[in-house]
Amino acid sequence: MRSIVMGAALLALAIPAASHAAPAKAKAKPPAKVEAVDSKKAPDLDIGQMMAIFDKIFPAQPDPPAPRLALSKTAVQSLFPDGTYARMMGGMLHGIADRVMSMTPADFGAKPGKDKTAQTMTLRQSLAKGDPNFDAHMASMEKIVSEEFAKMAAIIEPRMRDGLARSMARRFDEKQLADINAFLATDSGKAFGAQSMAMYVDPDVMRAMIGTFPEMMKAMPEAMKRIEAEAGHLDKAKTDKAEPLTPAS
């Protein structure tokens, strides 16, 4: 999810802005040579087939008891109120894009060059340098991104709520669901419900998750060694059990 969000932020905001900021006198570079794609080797994406695969990976679960489902739907409406997805994703993208625009080449690991000024300029300053309407372009793109997320939310949210309600109805009994709803009906519960989903993309939470990357990368080689050792052990056991070949008479 983080990769998708970062990519969307940069594509939706930084890349179009860069195209607007390109100086008019700059000479266009010749397009890179693109080799023909063999249609047999690269078939068109089959959405139906892809959905069929997901259907097998995440098979339909049995319907939960109706009374529990009714209670869980009430809880989910409080935990995932209308407009949550659009606000959550739109706000996160805006924050990421704004912070990326405030970074300098040095932040991206660029080595100091002859042009000292270019090294200290933020991405926003660099793009705005060649575009007097840069701020207007950025505001326009952010508005479009926000509106498009609102459209997607209208499709995603009802289905998310349905899935969450079914999950809750299977995990909690009627008494537990009633207790949950009683809490969500209080002022504190309403405040918690309105923020519960947004907390998962909060900068502190995202920072904590990303902060585990170095440790996970360090652990990967040892995990791969264990996998290779186990594979070798199984291969050896298979070879040992194989019947010896009978010499031809």
Cα(70)–Cα(181) distance, rounded to whole angstroms?
Answer: 11
Cα(188)–Cα(53) distance, rounded to whole angstroms?
Answer: 42
Residue 93 confidence (pLDDT): 77
Contact 122, 102 (CB under 8 A): yes
Contact 173, 71 (CB under 8 A): no
Between the alpha carbon of residue 8 and those of residues 13, 16, 38, 209, the distances in Å are: 8, 12, 28, 19
pTM value is 0.63
Cα(196)–Cα(88) distance, rounded to whole angstroms?
Answer: 11
* 219-234 residue pLDDT tens: 999 999 999 888 888 8
Stretch 13-18: mean pLDDT: 38
Using only C-alpha atoms, what is the Rg of the chain?
Answer: 27
Residue 221 carries which side chain, given as an amino acid letter? P
Residue 34 confidence (pLDDT): 45
Highest mean pLDDT among 108-112, 118-122, 127-131, 191-195: 191-195
Domain boundaries, the chain: 2-20+64-216
pLDDT at 239 over 80: no
Residue 134 carries which side chain, given as an amino acid letter? F
Cα(32)–Cα(212) distance, rounded to whole angstroms?
Answer: 38
Sign of CA dihedral 193, 197, 198, 203: positive
| Band (143; pLDDT cuts 50, 70, 90) | confident
Q: Which two tokens stand for residue 119?
A: 């090294």
